[in-house]
Structures are given as structure tokens and as C-alpha cells.
Structure 1
Amino acid sequence: MTSLGAPANDVGPARTLRHWLAHLSRSGRVAAIDKPVALEHELAAIAKCLDGTQAAFFTQPGGHAVPVVSGFMSKRAWIAEAMGVDESALLARFSAAAAAPLESKLVGREEAPCQQVVHTSGIDLHALLPIPTHSEYDNGPYLTAGLVIARNPRTGVQNVSINRIQVHGQNRMAILLLPRHLYAFHREAEAAGDALDVAIAIGVDPLTMLASQAITPIDHDELEIAGALHGAPLPVAQCVTNGVHVPAFAEIVIEGRILPNVREPEGPFGEFPKYYSAREAREVIEVTAVTHRRDPIFHTIVPAEMEHLLLGAIPREATLLAHLQRSHPAVKDVHLSVGGVCRYHLWVQFDKKREGEAKNVILCAFGAHYDIKQVVVVDTDVNVHDPAEIEWAIATRFQADRDLVVIEGAQGSPLDPSTTVGQPDDAPSHLQGVSAKMGLDATRPVVYPAHVFTRVRIPGQDSVDLHTLVAADNSAFDAYLSRDHD
């Protein structure tokens, strides 16, 4: 079994995947599955059962010698722990790192564990790596936790993202490119008739994973945000077959190039909204090299489960909070709900001073990210991380005829299946993802009669210490019941 390799007294933010897994293991948060497990469905099913309680570490996945890990970022509190902060400081810490990135540190091959073993000929991804097939109707095995890194063909600045990648053959893969930075890079290269060099880093630490999802303008290298989260420049190594820089402590790196003017079928695939995306023609990666540690660990993310959802939620929340506070400083907190697949439903805590302000906050949120489909604004006495509190605020502070905002025909998520209802299967791309938006002002009136909107509380409830009050056993209670009260 691969050693997780971190000293028992090591403390501080997670520096490498192994350091973090060793930390989780010491606190009982890694479940080692030592029996053979099938790569098709079985591995994902087991990981899903452990989701949010323990990371799953498979020592015999599909007959491979390379183990598979999943679920090591499946709780919000774990991610804060990896950063070395309280959960309440999670968004502020991420925002601070995004605002003050640190330039990465280029190291040589001898200092880069990700290049201890190099394959440049006779590459067979299925033989080298234990790549799972996750959901029932997935069209084959997928890379779901790889950091896709590429350079802007014009400026040379890198971009990092996580894209779903279907492994078609020994050295050929199809990748989903949504209209973001990597898409723009590829279109720039393709227009010139060139391939786009890329690298896919698999098995990085949780902070580097999280940084990859930062919402930044084009030409901002997310690996520099990872360095800021770590508090030191991130060590990176140059690929062996192209000029892309990758995290030096990654477990595995797949090098390749996205071919110009080549498309191959990809999908269906079970995505984060918990539905399947369609089979469509996608861009193609031709693999030129695979490098890895001597005893690598393969990371897979089970789609639509907590590791997948939280990776998208936390960077978005940090960006949305900063965006809203620029125009509305009285915004105190935000939360992308799990029920809204950590993308579509935003809850905003707001210290309202004037009537109408909450509706302005709603409109500002819709302009912050096209994925946002529903916004609920609540007062500061409502915990935006508690779904029951949000529902209570809507039930008692919202009236549809005066507090509802509806916007028709706005750009939404192309992966939201409800946006395709009523459209033909061959609808043009410019109609995909067109969505209605809904905002709910669930705040109290600024002025209201005494006690009407005052929450019911019991004095002293917050200072009760049950540990000192509740008896260690029920002997006194049992003795009382045993008396003859007839």
C-alpha cells in the first residue's frame, strides 16, 4: 500500500495530498478499502456511501497497483481546516489569497516528485491509471479531478480549471470546454491552425484544488492563488513535452495538446446538477506524456457529491461576497445551498436600512455570475448556512405580490436541464442555457410594530451548559420511576 508519508507532528495548512491524507487518517477520516473493487460503478458507489464522513482510499482498484482516493474535501469544515482557519473565516481567507497571489517557484526535475517516472512512448492510459466509470449512464471512464493547465497563446499566462475528460483510447481523450478561459485559449490557437499545449495534474493538495476554481479575469494564474493560500510560492515544474508549468508535488501529470479542428463524441455524463449532459462532439486531447511519482495516488471526484459541489461553491461564494460588498457594504455573508447544487441558489445575509435595498442586492447578485438562478435575501438574525432558517424567513417575511423579483430570458447555466424544456434537440448554441431568474426579498420591514417581527427567544438559552447539567447516567430518573405512585 502506498505510504501517505507525512510526519505525525506536522501541522499547518495542507501542503501536499499525502500530507493532508495523513492528517485525515490520524483523525479517523480515511476509510481504507483493502478488497478488490471494480472501476465501473462499484468504486464510485462506495465513495458515495462514505461522502462527507470519510475519504475513501482504494488499494486494489480494478486490478491496478495505483490506489484511488476520493472525498478528501467533502466537508466545508475540512476545507477550512486545510487552510488553517475557522470555518467562519473560510471565505475571507480565500478572498485574501485571490487578491494577493504569489508567483510560483519553478523547480528542476530532481525537485519535482511528479516527474520521478516518465512515459513518453507506448502510452496506454487504461494500463497506467485506474480511471473509474462513475454513474449509470456515463459513456465510459472519466478524469474528474484533474487540473487542466494551459497557456494563453498570446500572452503566455497560464489558466487552471477542472474539466470533465472522457478517456477514449490509449492516448486520446475528449474534453468539455465551456465558454471560459480555456475555451478562449483553444479558440485562439485553433484560429491560427495550432494545437493548444495542456497538462492535467491529478492528485494535488486541497488548497491547490480549491484555487483552481477561483473566479478571476483572464490571464490570472490560479496556481499563484494556491501559493497565497499556502503562504509560500507553489513549487512548479515544466512539463517534459511542452512549456506548461504544473504543481511539482502532484501525484500524476498527463501532458498533451488539444487538437485544432478535431471533434469527437463525448458523453452522456452525470454532472453536478445530478442529471446527465448530452452526448455531443467535443474537443480532443492527444496525450504526449504521462509522468508521476514512484508510487502515485489517483484522485477521482464522484460527480454531484459533496467534494464536487464544495469545490465549486467556496470560491464562488468568496467572489460573490466581495462583488456584493463593493456595491452593498451591508451584505454580511453568502451561501450557495447544497439543494441548489452549490451553483444555482444563493442566500444572502443583509443588514437592511432602507426599503428596496434587498431588491438591489438581488439584481447585483444576478449580474455577478450567470449560474445564479435564485437569490434569497434575509436579515442578519437569519443563519444563511441553515436551510431551515432560510425557509422560516421566507415563510414569515416574504409575500409574493410585493417581494418577488422575476427576470425572464437571462443567460443561465448550460448544464441546467430545465433551460432546454420546449427547445428542439438541435437548438443553436446561443439559445442554450437561457433561463428565468427569481429573487425573494425575505427581509423584515425597516419599521414595524413592536414585537411583530421580533424572534421568540428564551433568556439564557445561549449560555446553557448541558455538560454540567445533565447527569452522567439516569440512575436518579430510574429511581424516581421505580417509586410506587399509585
Structure 2
Amino acid sequence: METFRELIDHLDKRRELAFVDRKVNPKHELTAVMRRMQAGANHALMFRDVAGSDIPVVTNVFGFRRTVAAALGLEEKDLLRTLVAKEARGLPVDRVDDAPVQQVVSLAPDIDVARDIPQVVFSEHDAGAYITAGILIAPHPETGAYNASWNRCQLVGKDKLRVRMMPPQHLGRYHAEAEAKAQNLPCAIVIGAPPGLMFSAASKVPYEADELEVAGAWQGKPLRVTRCKTIPVDVPADAEMVIEGEVIADIREDEGPFGEFTDSYVPVMKNHVFRVTGITRRSDALYHTILAGGTEDLNLVGVPIQTEIYKKVSAFVPQIKDIATPGYVFGCVISINKQNEDQARNAVLAALGGYSWTKIVVVVDDDVDPFNAADVLWAIQTRATPDTDVYTIPRVSSYTREDVREVHSGKLGIDATAPLSMKPLFERRRFPGEDAINLEDYIVDRD
């Protein structure tokens, strides 16, 4: 899929997009509805009447991993191995002048992010409205290679945002290099981006890579870009909305608190200041927002992490069925077709070292669904021997956020695969005909 619109149409055709027509308050009420949806059918939502804005709000578009695969034109079963094959590639961008994202243009002094952007407030103690589905795009101050990354942005004035971006994140390094030259960093915030760019921005591609070109490779066709109206930055021509501006050198302001993806609050911290110089959008723009730590966020974060772990583990275990990050992205479950007893242990160690955030790894046989937490717990309880199959690595850091890093010290691995010598004893039951049963053909309608 080459545009956000194609993704929305795909969900609508599959009846995985629900519409909300009643007026909804963007402060808390919108998020409350979203959380109820994520706890149930987990469909995407389009709020067509959001108080204070004429722009519909769309969320939870990647509630399912299968939607990630479909958006990239892939089969879910082949998702990780295909992304690994494509990750190092790039396609030169396709530059255009006639861009849907610039159908409506607001320039100084007629800029007001409070007027032009839905003011979505998520959690009880959030400092205010935040942009959470904005991809920040900037060219490197020296090489011109483009970085794209997801960064939260606090809305604090007509033409000002506060942005969380720090080294070693690539965008933070870009800004640090510009700041060393006493320069501001020209930067654009893209909302409603093409799916390929969404995953390029979330991926762990090398620092030197141009992520606009990586996005083209992931979507199988060059990314259409256009030049911003006020800054020397290229942006996706088919996005829904772009906020143009620059990250100011040598200025930091208090940002937060914010309820982040760990399901706790990031406290008030000094963060960067973004000065808005222009806002462009489609005439019928959709505003994409993401609940940090919700099902959509965990898929956007989780698939690139799964891909990184797949690269490391596949060097030791050639027959990986799949890798999941159920529950949370600080751990993973790896399903393998085990050929010798060393492979599960090697998979544990490779995964724990393969991605810095990973602190808990469970390896299961290929008859276990790694995305089903109950199935994984079943494997641990029926196939793991605590004396010999549990591995701890003390005093190794994983998640390094300053205020909680001491909690994320040490790593744990569990081999929940059955011993090969006892494999016949662990054959799982099968129930012939179960997959073909439609319960509606059997249950009596009591009405």
C-alpha cells in the first residue's frame, strides 16, 4: 500500500474499521472509546465528529499483525524473513510537484496548531494534548540522508511544540550535529504517512541509510515526495498532513508528564523545542493518532524488534517458525523447529544479546503459538525444567530510561522446548474436524 488512504480502505472492506458519528471529546473520551475497542474486537476507529476540530480522527489502524503484513504486501507467515531481506535495500524517491498533502496551506502569521490539529489528551495526568502518530523527518546536516522516526510532540502554543528526541536515537544525533554548528535542524512532522514510511521510521536501519528510500523498498515502489513550503525538507506527497518547522538549537523546555508505552508516566523532563513554520494537509485530511502502549503501538514497535531478533537468532537456528512479542516488547517468544538440543539455548542467548531492550526470552517448539500467551505459559509449565532450562544473566541493562533503569537490570531466558529424546511423549492432541466447524450451524437460536 502506497498511502494511508489505501490502508483505511483495506480495513473498511474487511469490516475492520468502525465509525463513531456522535460528538466525542478529544480529552479522555476518545481514548476511553479506543481502549474499549482494543480490549474487544480491536478494530480501527474513525471518529467523524471530534469536538473542537473539523478533521476526523483515525486510530488503531494496526491493531493486528496481519494488517502490518497486508500493508507491506506480504504474507504474515513470511513477514520477518521478508523484512530482513528488504531492510538493507532502498529505492530512489519519486519527486513530484502536485502533492495532495499540500492542497491546504497555512503559513505565518496564520498558524495555529490548537485550531488546525485535534487536541487529543490521552491519560489522566498528561500535561496536555500530544501528537503521537507523527513521523519526524529531517535530512542529515552534512550528508543530506533522511532520517524518519516516531517522536511524541506536546502541543503548547500556536506555533510551538515540545519534542522528545535524544541520542542515541538517530534524529537526536542529527540535531546534536546541527546544534554543534549553532544551527537549527529543519524538520517536518508527517501525520497519516504511507505504511512503508511508518515501518521504515520504526525500524533499526543503519544510521547512514536514507529512510525515505528504505520506505520505498518496503512498499515495493519509490516513495512519492514533494518539497515543503517553508523548509528544505522532502515529505511524502500523499500523506494526510505535514507540520513544517525546525528544532531549535540550545533551547530545552519542560515537557511532560506523559503516559507512555510502559503504562506509566514519564515525568517532567527538559526536551527540545519545535518551532512551526507551516502546516499543509489534504482538503479532506484524516488525523492519525496512536495510544502509546496500545495494540497499534505495540505492533508498530514490535514488528521491527521481532525483525532484529530474527536476524540474530537465524544465524544459529535456521528453522524459525515465528517470533512474537506478546504482552510487551521487553520480551519475546521464539517458536522453532528444533533439530538439536543446543538450538534452544543458542536462540535464548542470541535473542537476549540481539536487541538491547529484550530482557525476557522464551523459546518454544513449533507446535506452540508464540502469539498466544496461554499457549506459551502451557509450554513453560509442561516442557521446561527449572533446574536446567532457566538462564539468568545478572547486571545487564535493557531499557535505559534514566528514572527506571535500575528496574531493568538483568536478563532471563527460558527453554520451554521438549527434549528431542522424549518427543513422542510430547505430541499434542489434535481434534479432527475442529477447524471446519461453524458453531452457528449447531447452536439453537433461543429467540
With structure 2 as the length reference, what TM-score do the two structures score?
Answer: 0.92
For residues 251 and 466 of structure 1, do their structure 2 counterparts lie closer, same or farther at Cα, with a shift above 3 Å needed? closer
Is the contact between residue 105 and residue 280 of structure 2 (CA under 8 Å) also seen in structure 1? yes
For residues 391 and 152 of structure 1, do their structure 2 counterparts lie closer, same or farther at Cα, with a shift above 3 Å needed? same
Q: Could you say which residue in structure 2 is the equivalent of 1:457?
A: 429
CA RMSD of aligned residues (A): 2.4
Q: How many residues align?
A: 442
SS at match of 2:8: helix
SS at match of 2:157: coil
Q: Could you say which residue in structure 2 is the equivalent of 1:427?
A: none
**Deviation (angstroms), 1:79:** 2.2
1:68 aligns with 2:40: no
Is the contact between residue 277 and residue 415 of structure 1 (CA under 8 Å) also seen in structure 2? no
1:137 aligns with 2:133: no
Which residues of 2 match residues 144-159 of structure 1 at below 5 A? 144-159=132-147
SS at match of 1:212: helix
Q: Could you say which residue in structure 1 is the equivalent of 2:213?
A: 224
1:53-72 superposed Cα distances (whole Å, 9 cap, x missing partner): 33221222122111111111
> Which residue, out of 167, 180, 185, partners 2:155?
167
What is the alpha-carbon distance in structure 2 between the residues aligned to residue 227 and residue 462 of structure 1?
45
What is the alpha-carbon distance in structure 1 between the residues aligned to residue 207 and residue 439 of structure 2?
57
Is the contact between residue 152 and residue 219 of structure 1 (CA under 8 Å) also seen in structure 2? no
What is the alpha-carbon distance in structure 2 between the residues aligned to residue 265 and residue 232 of structure 1?
41
Is the contact between residue 105 and residue 236 of structure 1 (CA under 8 Å) also seen in structure 2? yes
SS at match of 2:66: helix
1:125 aligns with 2:113: yes
> Which residue, out of 352, 355, 358, partners 1:366?
352
What is the alpha-carbon distance in structure 2 between the residues aligned to residue 287 and residue 268 of structure 1?
22
1:89-130 superposed Cα distances (whole Å, 9 cap, x missing partner): 22233333323322211111xx21111222220211001111
With structure 1 as the length reference, what TM-score do the two structures score?
Answer: 0.85
1:25-65 superposed Cα distances (whole Å, 9 cap, x missing partner): 23332222222211211111112222353322122212211
Instruction: Report which stretch shifted further, 93-102 or 248-257.
Output: 93-102
What is the alpha-carbon distance in structure 1 between the residues aligned to residue 9 and residue 438 of structure 2?
35
1:22 aligns with 2:16: no
Q: Could you say which residue in structure 2 is the equivalent of 1:313?
A: 302
Is the contact between residue 308 and residue 355 of structure 2 (CA under 8 Å) also seen in structure 1? no
What is the alpha-carbon distance in structure 2 between the residues aligned to residue 467 and residue 436 of structure 1?
46
For residues 16 and 437 of structure 1, do their structure 2 counterparts lie closer, same or farther at Cα, with a shift above 3 Å needed? same
1:197-238 superposed Cα distances (whole Å, 9 cap, x missing partner): 111000123343223211111021222232223221110111
**Deviation (angstroms), 1:252:** 0.7
Q: Could you say which residue in structure 2 is the equivalent of 1:245?
A: 234
What is the alpha-carbon distance in structure 2 between the residues aligned to residue 465 and residue 185 of structure 1?
52
Unaligned runs of 5+ in 2: none
Q: Could you say which residue in structure 1 is the equivalent of 2:190?
A: 201
Instruction: Report which stretch shifted further, 401-410 or 205-214.
Output: 205-214
> Which residue, out of 386, 410, 424, partners 1:400?
386
**Larger-gyration structure (1/2):** 1
Is the contact between residue 331 and residue 350 of structure 1 (CA under 8 Å) also seen in structure 2? yes
**Deviation (angstroms), 1:464:** 5.1
Unaligned runs of 5+ in 1: 1-13, 422-433, 479-486
Q: Could you say which residue in structure 2 is the equivalent of 1:347?
A: 333
> Which residue, out of 418, 423, 428, partners 1:444?
418
What is the alpha-carbon distance in structure 1 between the residues aligned to residue 32 and residue 292 of structure 2?
11
Identity of counterpart residues, as a percentage?
Answer: 36
> Which residue, out of 365, 378, 384, partners 1:379?
365
Instruction: Report which stretch shifted further, 20-29 or 279-288.
Output: 20-29
